[in-house]
Structure formats: C-alpha cells, structure tokens
Amino acid sequence: MIDAVKLLGSLLQQGGAPAAQDRLHNAVQRGTGGPLDQAGGGLAGMLSGLFNQGGAGGRGFGEMFGSVTEMAKRAAQAPVEETRANNPAALGGLGAIAGALLGGGRGAVGGGMLALLGSLAYAALQQQQGAAPPPPAEPDAGRLQQKAMLLLRAMIQAAKADGHIDGEEMQRITGRLTEAGETDEARRMVLQEMSRPVDVAGLAAEARDPQEAAEIYAASLLAITVDSQAERDYLARLAAALKLPAEAVAHIRQKLAG
C-alpha cells in the first residue's frame, strides 16, 4: 500500500517539484494567515528546517514538536470545544504534522506540507467577505492518506500543464523516487499519473468542500513556476472549476509567490 504522505515528502526532498520548496519556504516566512501561525514562531522554524531552508531556531525541535502534538491531541479528544477555544490544530489541520513527525524523514516533510496547506486554505477562504468558513474536521489516518494522494495528483497534473513532462523527465522523476526508497507501487502510480491527460474538471470534482478546493489550488501552484501562458491558463481554469472566490485565489498566490 502506498504511503501518500511519505510520497509527497519524497517528491519535495528529491526535487520532483522544483518550485515547491521555494514556495513552501515563502509561506513559512510570510505566515499562512491562518491557524498555523497561532502555534508560535518556533513552529515556523521547525517547518523551515523540514523544507531544507533553514535551521530550527528559537526553541528546540523536541519542545516545538511537543507543543504541536499536545494541540493535536486536544483537538482529537474534544474537537468542538477546541474549535471554540481557537486551537490551531482544530481549525486548520495542524494535526497533520503531528502524526507525520513521529515517523520523521519523508513523512515529516509530507505532513508539514499538508499542515501548511490546510492552514493556508482556511485563511484564504476567510478573505471572502471576512467570514470564517466552517472549521474542517481533523482527518483520521485514512482520510489523511486520501487527502495526500489527491494533492499529489493535483501537483502532478499542474506540472503537465505546459506539456514539458516527456518520457525522459518521467524517468528522471521516478529515478529520484527510487533513490528516496519509494516502492515499485508508488513509482508506478506516479508514472501513471504523469501519463494521463490533463483533466481540470475531473480534479475539481474530487474536492469535498471549499477547504479542500483551496488546498487543491494551493498544491497545484506549489508544483509550477508559472512562467508560461499555458500554466497561467491552467491555474485560471482550475480556480474557476473549483469555484474559488477571487479573494481566496489572491491570498494563496500572495503567500506562495516567488
């Protein structure tokens, strides 16, 4: 069985999505504008370290991880009460990073990305008339894997938007996944996704709610440099298919901008 959270981490660490690390670093430094920022400056240092863009800084890694884990545990045990108490883990998917960090390595990087995108999407939807969206439920392990797989596919599809993924590029990416220790099954899945035609409507239809729609858009933006008209057109079509308000799109682009 494919561990999609770890596979996300492998793509980031092995350069399968060259623009992603820079964009993630930008979001860490600027803040997402959402619940993740409420966890304190130490968490930003930890995430920056995960994305290979700086050290832990400030508090030690263990102390920072401990605070994140504690927030995630409280959110899981009493989601309604913790939402009312503005617990970041209950509001923006911060708990995604807690479980992943326990395993370290690729899972930690993938979990960090999921947590950051969850917080960014939540903040982006707040831009519409200044009203907060309904807080998303903290995903269980199975749902977290499904979300990671969906966002992974969104990134791969976006990377195909300008037609630059040819057979040689596919082999380069899968080769790097081999170096990262990914399974044959995981590599086959990535190769199959890269070989499929772009389907904006199909991808957008998989979003379960506005929060997930915003995460799909953010993950797609992560994967590309947006230096061609084809990529700009793709993102515009995707935003329309996802029915994202212009304010949400602008917030995501501003936080992830290069």
Say whether pLDDT at 14 is over 80.
Answer: no
% of the chain beyond a pLDDT of 90: 28
Q: Of 126, 131, 118, 116, nearest to 31 (Cα)?
A: 116
Cβ atoms of residues 52 and 21 within 8 Å: yes
User: Which of helix, strand or coil describes residue 2?
Assistant: coil
Q: 233 — phi, psi (to 5°)? A: -65, -40
Higher pLDDT, 139 or 176: 176
Query: Is the confidence at residue 252, as pLDDT, over 80?
Result: yes
Tens digit of pLDDT for each residue in 144-188? 889 899 999 999 999 888 887 777 778 888 888 888 888 999 999
Mean pLDDT of the chain: 78
Residue 20 pLDDT more than 50? yes
Residue 195 has pLDDT above 70, yes or no: yes
Render 55-69 in DSSP notation, one character per residue.
---SS-HHHHHHHHH
What are the pLDDT digits (tens) for 82-107?
666 656 555 555 555 555 555 556 77
Q: Residue 82 and residue 87: Cα distance in Å, rounded? A: 5
The average pLDDT across 15-23 equals 75
Distance CA 161, CA 177 (A): 22
Which pLDDT score is estimated for 174?
84
Q: Which two tokens stand for residue 205?
A: 């239809």
pLDDT in tens, 101-133: 555 567 777 877 888 888 888 889 887 655 555
Structure confidence at residue 215 as a pLDDT band (50, 70, 90): very high
C-alpha–C-alpha distance, residues 46 and 98, integer Å? 12
Task: Provide the pLDDT for residue 106.
Answer: 76
Q: Look at residue 227 in the predicted model and tell me its pLDDT.
A: 87
Copy the structure tokens of residue 189.
């899945």
Secondary structure of residue 149 in the 3-state scheme: helix
Dihedrals φ, ψ of 180, to 5°? -80, -10
- Cβ 109 vs Cβ 12: under 8 Å: yes
pLDDT score for 225: 87
Contacts of 186 (CB under 8 A, 6+ apart): 2, 3, 7, 10, 177
Neighbouring C-beta atoms of residue 179, cutoff 10 Å = 10
The pLDDT score that the predictor gives to residue 243 is: 96
Within 8 A by CB and 6+ apart from 210, the residues are 125, 133, 243, 244
Whether residue 54 is predicted with pLDDT greater than 50 in this model: the reply is no
- Residue 3 above 80 pLDDT? yes
Spans of all domains in the chain:
1-258
pLDDT at residue 8, rounded to an integer = 87
Phi-psi region of 46 (alpha: psi -120 to 50; beta: other; left: phi over 0): alpha
pLDDT digits (tens, 9 = 90+) for 60-71: 445 545 555 566
